[in-house]
């Protein structure tokens, strides 16, 4: 569940260009994460070394996960402050591969904003970066508002529960309307760091992704591993909170909302440069995100 | 921070209040639910055993305990009244409960949870917190559930209407017993016959069932005898 912080550098490299390759890579990430979690659970000091049938093992794992989640919550803001990109360089001062790659980012990017690694990092990063972009591009904010208005009926048509879907939708509409009036980056920061509000926005994006995947199920079914249907995939990997976003999620979200995203992949992959990928392909990105295995942060380009 | 939006404050209690309004307007069949007046994060529910199930006539009291992060994390689900289906006062492991936070969907509501609980109760599939009993045991527990719940103070306070319905049912049951006892004293042979069997007295359904079974056996035997006679006669005709 908190794979953001656990998936280490053993994740496969991302030097692929087709969607299918991305998916293969991500399935490994998921698998690795699960193994890692089990491994961690075994090492837990609260867990006896021998199997004890009287103790509910699930409970122990759950308690540990909760503890990790609490620690992350206490130590990391959902959307962090605007940091200089050199802070990233410092982070990897002892790591020649990473620091070499970060250096190649410096000519293009100037700042980084870190997000909370709770499995919602991509979505929170997307929401913040996009709303911030909208503050400076009012016509885009108007377009987005119109899209949001229409999206509710689409979700109802796809069979999402009316009462709760409406609740998440209304919250998003209120945030957008509020930004139309007194929009400022500070305001966006406050909204995105307010627990209730931020989580509501995240859920609504999850519903939009799920709806887009299910509407185009025939196409997306080719990219889903493990013999699951698109609907099952959505129930297990998209709609629940704290589930990490993979390439399918990003493909679906950027296509549904019509917003271009560039992801820079910082990992141990071959080559000195940082691989990048634009979603949807051939789009002009308005949001730049930094991917490190299992986690997304927001990047600011110099232009 | 003045981020709080007009009608959506984005907290668990705001959402639970909305869930409550919703459930009052659009009730879940067979289920009544009420939050504690002192704590909206703890809800109590009563499932009325649906017709044609082993729970028919029973009242099953339980509770939902919501986390502060609701609806982003699921509640714990407990059953308090013995049902023969679930352990009592134990967190139940359902896809809609906090045993499975990774399959919980924030778009689900209290209504979804209660509907899911009811359908799981009517199934037989095992899970953590479930127990296995025969239908007969379940029917006995459904009879006993009435007086069991009346002893629970939270139950009687939160569900006065159901409490009254139960009291009426129990009074009726008592009256029937008294009448039967009276008839017995008067030496009514048919009543005496019915009350000789203890289990029949406790469970009129079971008595009906066994009478029906007896009848079926007699009819079945008659049909069998008739068939044998028919075959024998046909055979002898052919031979002749």
SS3 for B15-75, per residue? HHHHHHHHHHHCCCCCEEEEEECCEEEEEEEEEECCCCCCCCCCEEEEEEECCCCCCCCCC
Q: Give B100's pLDDT tier (boundaries 50, 70, 90).
A: confident
**Among A143, A225, A154, which Cα is nearest to A180's?**
A143
Q: Give B136's pLDDT tier (boundaries 50, 70, 90).
A: very high
Residue with tokens 């992959």: A269
Within a domain: A62: no
Task: Answer whether B169's CB lies under 8 Å from B149's CB.
Answer: no
CATH number of the structural domain spanning residue A85: 1.20.1300.20
CA separation for the pair A220, A230 (Å, rounded): 7
Condensed to tens digits (0 to 9), the pLDDT of residues A83-97 reads 999 999 999 999 989
- Whether A296 has a pLDDT exceeding 90, the answer reads yes
Question: Is B194 considered catalytic here?
Answer: no
CA separation for the pair B21, B18 (Å, rounded): 5
Chain Cα centroid distance, residue B166 = 14
Total Cβ atoms within 10 A of residue A152: 20
Task: Answer whether B81's CB lies under 8 Å from B62's CB.
Answer: yes
**Among A31, A217, A228, A164, which Cα is nearest to B105's?**
A164
- Contact yes or no for A207 and B15 at CB 8 A: no
Residue with tokens 């308090």: B80
CA dihedral B80, B82, B88, B91 (to 10 degrees): -80
Within a domain: A63: no
Tokens, residue B2: 């003045």
- Whether A128 has a pLDDT exceeding 90, the answer reads yes
State the average pLDDT over residues A61-80: 84
Task: Answer whether B12's CB lies under 8 Å from B68's CB.
Answer: yes
Task: With beta carbons under 8 A apart, name residues in chain A contacting B103.
Answer: 235-236, 240
Distances in Å between the alpha carbon of B211 and those of A13, B184, B195?
Answer: 73, 20, 14
Sign of CA pseudo-dihedral A178, A182, A184, A190: negative
User: Which residues fall within 8 angstroms of residue A219, CB to CB, at 6 or more apart?
Assistant: none
Within a domain: A203: yes
State the average pLDDT over residues B53-63: 96
Question: In chain A, what is the greatest distance between 2 CA atoms, to the nearest angstrom?
Answer: 62
- Going from N- to C-terminal start, the domains of chain B cover 12-158, 205-239
Distances in Å between the alpha carbon of B158 and those of B55, B62, B149, B165?
Answer: 22, 12, 12, 14
**Among B57, B121, B110, which Cα is nearest to B86's?**
B121
DSSP state, residue A243: P
Residues of A annotated catalytic, as ranges: 118, 121, 295
Sort strands B59-65 and A275-279 into parallel, antiparallel or unpaired: unpaired
Report the complex ipTM.
0.70
CATH 3.10.110.10 fits B12-158, yes or no: yes
Sort strands A287-292 and A261-265 into parallel, antiparallel or unpaired: parallel
Within a domain: A296: yes
B93, B183, B184, B209: which one is catalytic?
Answer: B93
- Contact yes or no for B5 and A241 at CB 8 A: no
CA separation for the pair B77, B99 (Å, rounded): 9
Q: Is B230 exposed, middle or buried (0-12, 13-18, 19+ CB in 10 A)?
A: exposed
- Whether A1 has a pLDDT exceeding 80, the answer reads no
Tokens, residue B116: 């899911």
Task: Find the residue in B nearest to A164 (Cα).
Answer: B107
Task: With beta carbons under 8 A apart, name residues in chain A contacting B5.
Answer: 171, 174-175, 178, 197
**Among A123, A125, A134, which Cα is nearest to A183's?**
A134
User: Which residues fall within 8 angstroms of residue A5, CB to CB, at 6 or more apart?
Assistant: A68, A72, A117, A294, A295
Total Cβ atoms within 10 A of residue B172: 10
- Whether A222 has a pLDDT exceeding 80, the answer reads yes
Tokens, residue B98: 């906090």
CA separation for the pair B150, B157 (Å, rounded): 10
Residue with tokens 């995947």: A213
Within a domain: A66: no
Distances in Å between the alpha carbon of A193 and those of A116, A170, A188, B6, B222?
Answer: 10, 18, 9, 17, 80
Distances in Å between the alpha carbon of B154 and those of A138, B88, B114, B198?
Answer: 55, 16, 19, 33
CA separation for the pair A93, A99 (Å, rounded): 6
More confident residue, A110 or A12: A110
State the average pLDDT over residues B79-90: 93
Sort strands A275-279 and A261-265 into parallel, antiparallel or unpaired: antiparallel
The whole-angstrom distance between A56's CA and the closest CA on chain B is: 10
Domain count, chain A: 1
Within a domain: A70: no
Please tell me the predicted confidence (pLDDT) of residue B59. Answer: 97
Please tell me the predicted confidence (pLDDT) of residue A14. Answer: 40
CA separation for the pair A266, A252 (Å, rounded): 22
Query: Buried (b) or exposed (e) across B116-148, using 16+ Cβ within 10 A?
Result: bbbebbeeeeeeebbeeeeeeebbbbbbebbeb
Task: Tell me the backbone φ, ψ of residue B133, rounded to 5 degrees.
Answer: -140, 165
State the average pLDDT over residues A5-18: 39
Kindly report the length of chain A. Answer: 303
Chain Cα centroid distance, residue B121 = 8
More confident residue, A134 or B193: A134
Condensed to tens digits (0 to 9), the pLDDT of residues B61-82 reads 999 999 998 999 999 999 999 9
- Contact yes or no for B109 and A195 at CB 8 A: no
More confident residue, A71 or B56: B56
Instruction: Say how many CB pairs under 8 Å bridge A and B.
Output: 88
Tell me whether A196 touches chain B (CB under 8 Å): yes
Within a domain: A257: yes
CA separation for the pair A224, A49 (Å, rounded): 37
CA separation for the pair A276, A16 (Å, rounded): 10
Host domain of residue A143: 3-43+76-301
Condensed to tens digits (0 to 9), the pLDDT of residues A172-193 reads 999 999 999 888 999 999 999 9
For residue A40, list its beta bridge partners.
Answer: none
The whole-angstrom distance between B97's CA and the closest CA on chain A is: 13
Task: Answer whether A11's CB lies under 8 Å from A25's CB.
Answer: yes
Condensed to tens digits (0 to 9), the pLDDT of residues A250-291 reads 999 999 999 999 999 999 888 888 999 999 998 999 999 999
Task: Find the residue in B nearest to A207 (Cα).
Answer: B107
Within a domain: A49: no
Residue with tokens 């000519």: A107
Mean pLDDT, chain A, as a whole number?
A: 84
């Amino acid at each position: 569940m908190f794979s953001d912080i656990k998936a280490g550098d053993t994740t496969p490299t991302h030097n692929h260009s087709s969607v299918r390759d991305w998916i293969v890579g991500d399935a490994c990430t998921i698998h690795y994460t699960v193994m890692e979690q089990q491994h961690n659970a075994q090492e837990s000091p609260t867990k006896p070394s021998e199997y004890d049938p009287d103790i509910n093992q699930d409970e122990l794992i759950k308690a540990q996960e909760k503890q990790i989640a609490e620690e992350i919550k206490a130590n990391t803001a959902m959307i962090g402050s605007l940091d200089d990109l050199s802070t990233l360089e410092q982070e990897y001062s002892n790591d020649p591969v990473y620091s070499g790659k970060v250096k190649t980012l410096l000519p293009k990017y100037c700042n980084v904003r870190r997000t909370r690694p709770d499995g919602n990092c991509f979505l929170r990063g997307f929401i913040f970066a996009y709303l911030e972009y909208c503050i400076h591009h009012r016509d885009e904010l108007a377009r987005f508002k119109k899209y949001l208005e229409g999206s509710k009926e689409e979700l109802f048509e796809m069979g999402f529960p009316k009462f709760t879907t409406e609740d998440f939708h209304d919250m998003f509409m209120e945030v957008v309307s509020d930004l139309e009036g007194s929009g400022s980056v500070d305001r966006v920061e406050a909204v995105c760091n307010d627990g209730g509000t931020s989580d509501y926005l995240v859920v609504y994006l999850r519903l939009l992704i799920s709806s887009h995947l299910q509407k185009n199920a025939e196409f997306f079914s080719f990219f889903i591993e493990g013999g699951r249907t698109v609907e099952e995939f959505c129930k297990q990997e998209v709609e629940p909170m704290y589930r990490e976003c993979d390439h399918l999620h990003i493909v679906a979200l950027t296509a549904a909302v019509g917003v271009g995203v560039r992801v820079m992949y910082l990992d141990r992959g071959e080559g000195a440069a940082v691989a990048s990928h634009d979603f949807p392909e051939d789009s002009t990105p308005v949001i730049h995100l930094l991917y490190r295995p299992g986690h997304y942060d927001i990047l600011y380009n110099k232009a | 921070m003045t981020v709080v939006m007009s009608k959506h404050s984005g907290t668990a209690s705001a959402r639970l209040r909305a869930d409550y309004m919703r459930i009052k307007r659009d009730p879940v069949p067979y289920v009544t639910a009420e939050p504690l007046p002192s704590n909206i994060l703890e809800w109590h529910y009563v499932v009325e055993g649906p017709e044609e199930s082993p729970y028919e006539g029973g009242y099953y009291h339980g509770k939902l305990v919501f986390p502060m992060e609701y609806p982003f994390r699921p509640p714990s689900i407990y059953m308090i009244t013995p049902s023969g289906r679930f352990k009592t006062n134990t967190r139940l492991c359902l896809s809609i409960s906090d045993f499975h936070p990774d399959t919980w969907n924030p778009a689900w509501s209290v209504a979804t949870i209660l509907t899911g609980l009811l359908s799981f109760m009517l199934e037989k599939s095992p899970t953590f917190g479930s127990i296995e009993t025969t239908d007969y045991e379940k029917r006995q527990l459904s009879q006993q559930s009435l007086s069991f719940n009346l002893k629970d103070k939270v139950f009687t306070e939160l569900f006065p209407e159901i409490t009254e319905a139960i009291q009426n049912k129990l009074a009726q049951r008592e009256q029937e017993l008294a009448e039967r006892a009276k008839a017995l004293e008067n030496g009514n042979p048919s009543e005496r016959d019915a009350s000789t069997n203890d289990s029949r007295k406790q469970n009129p359904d079971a008595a009906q069932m066994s009478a029906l079974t007896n009848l079926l056996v007699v009819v079945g035997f008659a049909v069998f005898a008739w068939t044998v006679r028919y075959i024998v006669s046909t055979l002898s005709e052919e031979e002749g």
